[in-house]
Every structure is written in structure tokens, then in C-alpha cells.
Amino acid sequence: MNQVNVEPEQADYQTSSRIVSVEARTIRVPLDHHTAFSTRLVTARDYTVVRVTTADDRHGIGFCYSGSRAGMLVTYAVRELFAPLLRGSCALDVEGLWRAMYDESLLQGRAGAVMRALSIIDIALWDRNARAAGLPLSRYLGGTSSATVPAYASGGYYLEGKTPGHLGEEMASYVALGFSAVKMKVGRLDPRSEEARIRAVREAIGDDVLLMLDANNAWSDVPTALEYMRRYEPFNPYWIEEPFSPDDIESHAQLSRRTPVTVATGEIEAGRWRHQELLDKRAALILQSDAAVCGGISEWRRIAASAAAVGVTMCPHWFHDLHVHLVASTTNARYVEFFPDDQVLNFRRLVDTQLSFADGRLIVPTRPGLGFDFDEAALNEYALDDWS
């Protein structure tokens, strides 16, 4: 029998990188004001947060938006499906652990809550390993030395009593902060009312600011979408985001051929295979894949590579604290979605460090790993359960 000799240094890092715990808890943060998209009203955000600790007492963190209710489904998947599988494994074996988790969850997962649980753990592993290397995550992923990345200010939600004039003022306030690209919600009201909202925003921000439109799955058929788009097109939107259900890839493809406005989607999509269908059908020229949803950093990078091969741009959805690192380390990624306040992305209340920005660009963190930790006091304030 051949004996494999393990160098002492290799044995050391394998031992020190052994996973000793995978902990998760569910956090529910109420919104200060009930907020609406095209089809949904949100009163609170559920988040699942994860902490992976290794034998050398290093840790990494992961997180995901787990819905407006029942976020404990994601937490349960972390605890019961994946944590027992990972304990005792080497945290450096990110690819192998991703495959093991995917295979373990074939019957329960491949999308939704279980894939979000897998994503959270994958993020925590990358964070732990970057911290152990003493590198910011963007540099650990092979990113350039650029100190900043472009961002757009995201907002424009529907609130009770919010007029088109109020909406225009909100968008103009983001431009005053230095952002040259902004995003607003569309699709909840009738076509004439939506046209009035967009007109007010364009007049408020001027012609030189990029205006993104987010429909949040508003429409169920292409003719209805075209009725709205004909009213939107004169205001030169940069993209129309999520016009249909994420499962209705064919309608995305049909709309992309019938409007001059770029179609963007993918924020709820999971796995490289479904993203490949979007690419094959030319259903979107911008993918908004979310690393906390699609399968973690590992899967996001695979999706980005596939998109690069066909000239598609990555503009990831939500969690600017995470995606700043991915945009900084991906050649075909352009914008980070940035939330200037904590009213909608109230995850901001759960972390100890906020991203800095200047002139519409986010400053890439230089601390090891993601560059922040959870604020334990805030977690305790909003938690539905304990670490376990």
C-alpha cells in the first residue's frame, strides 16, 4: 500500500481549518413604515445569519434575506441539513463542501429556502478563509487594486401618501449625494399613474442620470408589459428589472426583443443551470444574481463567468456589503445596488460597520474578509431565537 506523506505545514492548516461549529439564528427587523412594491406589501424583514468557526478560533459570517415571514425555514435548513455535514470538514475545501451540500439537498433544495441556506454557509466559508489569509474578500477573490466601484442608489418604493413630486425629491436627493444612477419601483399603479411618477423623477434628476426601473414581477403577459413600456420608453430608462415571474423566462426573452430598454433579471434565480437558460434565450442582458440567493459566492462566480462569455453584465441585487467585493473582483460586473439608509435594507442595523461612498462610488473595504461583523446587541434585539 502506498503511503501518502503529508507535509507538517499542510497538516497544520488542515487541522486549524477544521470546522468545529456552524451556528445560525433568525432575525426579524420590522420596517419603520410599511413599504410596497408592485405586488407585495412588506412590514418586516426576516434574515438568517450564520457563523462558521474553525479549530483555530477563526470565524466567518454569512447572511441572507429569508422573506417577509417564516425566515426560520432557512435557519432550520442550515441547522438540520447542512451543519451536521460540515462539522469536522476543512473550511478551505469550499468547492468540495459546496458540492456536498448541493448533493445532500437534492430532494429538498435546488432553489428557495434551502438554496439560500447553502448560499449563507458558502459566504461564511469564503469570509473565514479571507480573514485567515489576512486579505479583504475582494483581494482574496483575485480582485484588482481599484479602491472604489460604481454604485446606483436604490429606492423609490411605494409609501402611503407619497406623491410623484415626493418621489422626484427622493431620487434627486440621491443625485445630490453624488450618485449618477438611481433606481425606482414601478408596476403597482395603472399606466397613466406610473407615467406620471417616472416623468416626475426624470424632471427631478435631469437627463444625464441613469434611471433604472424595477417592476418586481409586476406583469403576467407580454402585451401588458408592452403597454407600460411604451409609456416608460420616452424617459430613457437604463433597464427594466424583473418584469415577469422568475419562472417565466420566455416572456423575458419576448419582451427583450420588443422594447429598446434593456431587460435585467435574476435576483431570485438559483443555480447556474437556470441562469444558463436566461443566457441561452437572451432573456436578459444584465443579470442581477444575488450571491445570498443563487448558491453563494462560489455559484455566483460560475454564473458571472458564463455571462462574460456571451457579453452579459453582472449587477448584483441587494446586500451591498457583500456584493461590493464581487463587483470589485469580476471583470464583467458593473454596478453595486446601494441603499443609502436603513429603511428598506434594514439589515444595515445588524452590522457593526457601514460602507463608505464618495462621488457615487463605494469604497472597497480593506479589512480582512467581508470587512465587518454582526452587531451582537442588534441581533439580540431583533432575534427570534438564539445561536445554535
223 and 269 assigned to the same domain? yes
Q: Determine the Cα–Cα distance for residues 248 and 252; give it in Å rounded to an integer.
A: 7
**Interval 47-56 mean pLDDT:** 98
Q: Locate cell 445630490: which residue?
A: 176
Q: Determine the Cα–Cα distance for residues 246 and 101; give it in Å rounded to an integer.
A: 24
321 and 279 assigned to the same domain? yes
Residue 9 has pLDDT above 90, yes or no: no
Q: Tell me how crowded residue 96 is: count the other CB atoms within 10 A of its CB.
A: 11
CB 350 within 8 A of CB 47: yes
Active-site residue 185, yes or no?
yes
Q: Determine the Cα–Cα distance for residues 67 and 48; give it in Å rounded to an integer.
A: 9
Q: How far is CA 380 from the centre of its chain?
A: 24
Residue 204 has pLDDT above 90, yes or no: yes
Q: Determine the Cα–Cα distance for residues 167 and 76; give it in Å rounded to an integer.
A: 39
Work out the pLDDT band at 1, boundaries 50, 70, 90.
Answer: very low
pLDDT (0 to 100) of residue 146: 84
Q: Which stretch of 30-34, 38-42, 186-190 has the lowest confidence by average pLDDT?
A: 38-42
Q: What is the CATH number of the domain that holds 20?
A: 3.30.390.10
159 and 60 assigned to the same domain? no
Q: How many domains does the chain have?
A: 2
Q: Determine the Cα–Cα distance for residues 57 and 63; give it in Å rounded to an integer.
A: 20
Q: Which stretch of 66-70, 208-212, 295-299 has the lowest confidence by average pLDDT?
A: 66-70
Work out the pLDDT band at 2, boundaries 50, 70, 90.
Answer: very low
pLDDT (0 to 100) of residue 13: 78
Q: Determine the Cα–Cα distance for residues 233 and 202; give it in Å rounded to an integer.
A: 12
pLDDT (0 to 100) of residue 127: 98
Residue 301 lies in a domain: yes
Q: Residues in the chain, how many?
A: 388
Residue 154 has pLDDT above 50, yes or no: yes
Residue 13 sits at φ, ψ, to 5 deg, of -75, -30
pTM comes to 0.96
157 and 273 assigned to the same domain? yes
- Of 183, 252, 317, 325, the active-site residue reads 317
Burial classification of residue 306, based on how many CB atoms lie within 10 Å of its CB (0-12 exposed, 13-18 middle, 19 or more buried):
middle
- Contacts for 216 with CB less than 8 Å, ≥ 6 apart: 37, 38, 39, 40, 185, 187, 241, 242
pLDDT (0 to 100) of residue 119: 98
DSSP structure string for 45-91: EEEEEEEEEETTS-EEEEEEEEESS-THHHHHIIIIIIHHHHTTSBT
- Of 185, 275, 323, 325, the active-site residue reads 185
User: To the nearest whole percent, how much of the chain has pLDDT over 90?
Assistant: 93
Q: What is the CATH number of the domain that holds 163?
A: 3.20.20.120
Q: Coil, helix or strand for 35?
A: strand
Work out the pLDDT band at 263, boundaries 50, 70, 90.
Answer: very high
pLDDT (0 to 100) of residue 331: 95
**Interval 166-186 mean pLDDT:** 98
Q: Coil, helix or strand for 260?
A: coil
Active-site residue 162, yes or no?
no
pLDDT (0 to 100) of residue 4: 47
30 and 69 assigned to the same domain? yes
Question: 126 lies in which domain range?
Answer: 12-134+376-382
